[in-house]
Amino acid sequence: MGRSDPPPAIPGLVDTHCHLDYPPMSDDLDGTLAAARAAGVEQVVHVGCAPDTIDRAVAIASAHRDVFAAVGVHPHDARDYDEHVEARLEALLDAPKVVALGETGLDYHYDRSPRATQRDALARQAALAARRRVPLVLHVRDAHDDALDVLAGVDLPAGGIVHCFTGDAACARRWLDRGFHVSFSGIVTFPKAPEVAEAARIVPTDRLLLETDAPYLAPVPVRGRRNTPANVAHTCAFVARLRTTAPEVLAHETAQNARRLLGLPRPAA
Which residues in 78-231 belong to E strands, given as ranges? 98-107, 136-141, 160-162, 181-184, 208-210
Specify if 46 maps to a domain. Answer: yes
pLDDT band at 243 (very low <50, low <70, confident <90, very high): very high
Query: Band of the pLDDT at 101, cuts 50, 70, 90?
Result: very high
Is 267 part of any domain?
A: no
Other beta carbons within 10 Å of 201:
15
Domain limits for position 227: 13-262
- 6 inside domain: no
Instruction: Provide the greatest CA pair distance for the chain.
Output: 51
Residue 142, CB half-sphere, CA atoms under 13 Å: how many? 7
For residue 79, CA distances in Å to 51, 66, 86, 146 come to: 11, 33, 13, 18
Is 167 a residue whose pLDDT tops 80?
A: yes
Distance CA 233, CA 151 (A): 32
pLDDT at 2: 40
Residue 7 lies in a domain: no
- Nearest Cα residue to 167 out of 178, 154, 155: 178
Q: Is residue 4 part of a domain?
A: no
1 occurs within a structural domain = no
Q: What global pTM score does this model have?
A: 0.97
Cis peptide before 215 (omega within 30 of 0): yes
232 falls within a domain: yes
% of the chain beyond a pLDDT of 90: 95
CA 23 vs CA 18, 48, 57: distances in Å? 12, 15, 15
Q: How far apart are CA 45 and CA 15, in angstroms?
A: 6
pLDDT digit string, tens, across residues 183-241: 999 999 999 999 999 999 999 999 999 999 999 999 999 999 999 999 999 999 999 99
Model pLDDT, residue 5: 79
In a domain, 168, yes or no: yes
pLDDT, residue 267, reads: 86
Bridge partners, 70 (sequence order): 47, 100
CA distances (Å), 214 to each of 47, 123, 198, in order?
A: 10, 26, 23
The residue-averaged pLDDT of 154-178 equals: 98
Our count of domains for the chain comes to 1
Residue 125 sits in a domain whose CATH number is 3.20.20.140
